[in-house]
Structure 1
Amino acid sequence: MTEQNRDQIEYWNGEVGQRWAARHAALDAVFKPLTDALFKRAALNPGERVLDIGCGAGKTALRAARTVTESGRVLAADLSAPLLAVARQRAAREPASTAPIEWIEADAQSHDFGQGAFHHALSRFGVMFFDDTEAAFDNIGRALGSGGRLTFLCWRALEENAWVRVPREVVLPLVPGCEPMAPDAPGPFRFADPRAVLPILDAAGYRDISCDPIDRTLTIGHSVDGSAKEAVDAATDIVVDLGPVARLLRDRDADLRESARATVAETLEHHVRDGAVRLGAACWLISATRR
């Protein structure tokens, strides 16, 4: 296991993973338009065997299991024990007509999923964090075998993602000494330039590679009664506690975090419409077939 793998495992099994687990329903609601686009492209069929990479709290694996029905199979992998614990609890409430799901705490870069064991591998924002991207896609490809399909979402550039850019711009001046992340380092915007990933897929033995821009408006927070304050409070919780801005505030003192929260809330007030805070998101939807 490399140092970066170790860092990712510690990050997602610590306080961050626990926060994401506790707020999984809110995140699933925010990302629903993007999840819908992923599954429309994946076009899963009953009876198929599906590998979910970076399954998190289980939303995508559960949806895959419903789609492939009891005649199919789903294996869902993630580094985070807290998120997997929530996923298993959610799966226990699923009807018998869904496919069986095996939940495993594993690094998809190196875990042996079996040779040609799956018809389809999919991922909602789970493939940008590998230490060795080439090894990871090759390993996933072995699990697919010839003719297996890969479908995943990854973020486009930060500048195109207002849901991150808008709050980040007002938080950055409050965070001294924040170094920008190297473009090729593991992180959410690692594949903002598709040239960082498409040649890797080709070299790893994939064909019929497609890369399409997906633009959606995300509802970051909404209110039940239509009030702006409730919507802003909900959106601020997502941005400050769970979104990429949360990384900027990690390990900062309580006063700075509170100041950042107030600043973000003030900024998001300008984006409330009809009782909801909505901001744009921009992704790449990439699919390929294993040669």
Structure 2
Amino acid sequence: MPDPISQTEYWNGDVGERWAGMQAELDRVFAPLTAALLDGAGLRPGERMLDIGCGCGETALLAAERLGPDGAVTAVDVSRPMLARARARPAAGAPIRWIEADAQTRAFAPEHDLALSRFGVMFFEESRAAFANIRRALRPGGRLVLLCWRALPENEWVNRPRDAVLGVVPAPAPPPPGGPGPFRFADGDALVELLTQAGFAQAAVVPVDRPVEIGADAEAATRFAVTVGPIAGLLRDLDDPALRERAVAAVRDAMPPAGPVRLGTACWLATAVNPG
């Protein structure tokens, strides 16, 4: 069995290219969740923000508009393809500095009022050390606000197409406990404890549940489901084209037959404060 690749390699390969190519669709699908994150962050004009795992730039760009010209955004990601897409997008409001770096080890100046992340913190190799490093990037009293997925069974947008695929192909091996992955922080109490161990105070989580439209019809929803998200890798690794087509057809059959496809999502909005 080949050695697992690092997260930097993963997001600079085919996955990063595909996510960059799906930027507009991903931002549209996750718009209700992005709004919940930004509203929960309580951004104030003139603040300095650090965007962790900024991807193709949606959260940084929307935050820059709220922060205004007297604010500042530092947006960090390991993925060159996604950062290239972010840099090419029009920006307004606070200036944005795009940085290709790993937020778990990059030495940031302790000048930020806020560190924010939309689905970017679940992929750290060493979560406790990463959160401690992010805390050091905050001024005393600075805030951490992040959005991460709750458990897989609560996320219909993933488990409906996944169940369809697993009716055709064998289930993959479970990820190592505590390893990088989208549902790493499904246990909200464990996330609060982790943030506390990393030196944060007032750590808390609240549930965020929003339906998202993953496609205008079953065909579009299927394309989204098999291109990004947890089942995309499962299908990509299939060597049998006929088996892959059967799996894609099963996903299509699992979608509502008419109209926009809206499925449920379940997230944690986690907050904490750097006590200084």
TM-score by structure 1 length?
0.90
Q: Is 1:129 aligned to residue 115 of structure 2?
A: no
Structure 1 residue aligned with 2:55? 56
Structure 2 residue aligned with 1:233? 219
- Whichever residue aligns with residue 29 of structure 1, its letter is R
Aligned length: 272
TM-score by structure 2 length?
0.95
Alignment of 1:103-122 (within 5 A): 103-114=98-109, 116-122=110-116
Q: Distance between the aligned counterparts of 2:50 and 2:244, measured in 1?
A: 38
Q: Is 1:290 aligned to residue 274 of structure 2?
A: yes
Q: Distance between the aligned counterparts of 2:273 and 2:24, measured in 1?
A: 32
Q: Is 1:100 aligned to residue 95 of structure 2?
A: yes
Give the C-alpha shift of residue 177 in structure 1.
5.9
Q: Distance between the aligned counterparts of 1:207 and 1:178, measured in 2?
A: 38
Give the C-alpha shift of residue 117 in structure 1.
1.6
Structure having the higher helix fraction is 1
Alignment of 1:60-71 (within 5 A): 60-71=59-70
- Whichever residue aligns with residue 250 of structure 1, its letter is R
Give the C-alpha shift of residue 8 in structure 1.
0.9
Alignment of 1:157-196 (within 5 A): 157-176=151-170, 178-196=172-190
Q: Distance between the aligned counterparts of 1:203 and 1:7, measured in 2?
A: 25
Q: Secondary structure at the match of 1:286?
A: strand
Equivalent of 1:153, from 140, 147, 157? 147
CA RMSD of aligned residues (A): 1.4
Identity of aligned residues (%): 54
More displaced, 48-57 or 174-183? Answer: 174-183
- Whichever residue aligns with residue 259 of structure 1, its letter is R
More displaced, 32-41 or 204-213? Answer: 204-213
Structure 2 residue aligned with 1:219? 213
Q: Secondary structure at the match of 2:179?
A: coil
Cα deviation code 1:106-134 (max 9, x no counterpart): 111101111x2200000000011111111
Task: List alignment gaps of at least 5 residues for structure 2.
Answer: none
Cα deviation code 1:15-57 (max 9, x no counterpart): 1111110110000011011101101110111110000000000
Q: Secondary structure at the match of 1:120?
A: strand
Q: Please say if residues 183 and 189 of structure 1, whose CA atoms lie closer than 8 Å, have aligned partners that are also in contact.
A: no
Give the C-alpha shift of residue 68 in structure 1.
0.7
Structure 2 residue aligned with 1:250? 236
Q: Secondary structure at the match of 2:141?
A: coil
The 1:177/1:26 distance shift into structure 2, 3 A limit, reads closer
- Whichever residue aligns with residue 98 of structure 2, its letter is W
Structure 2 residue aligned with 1:268? 255
Give the C-alpha shift of residue 183 in structure 1.
3.6
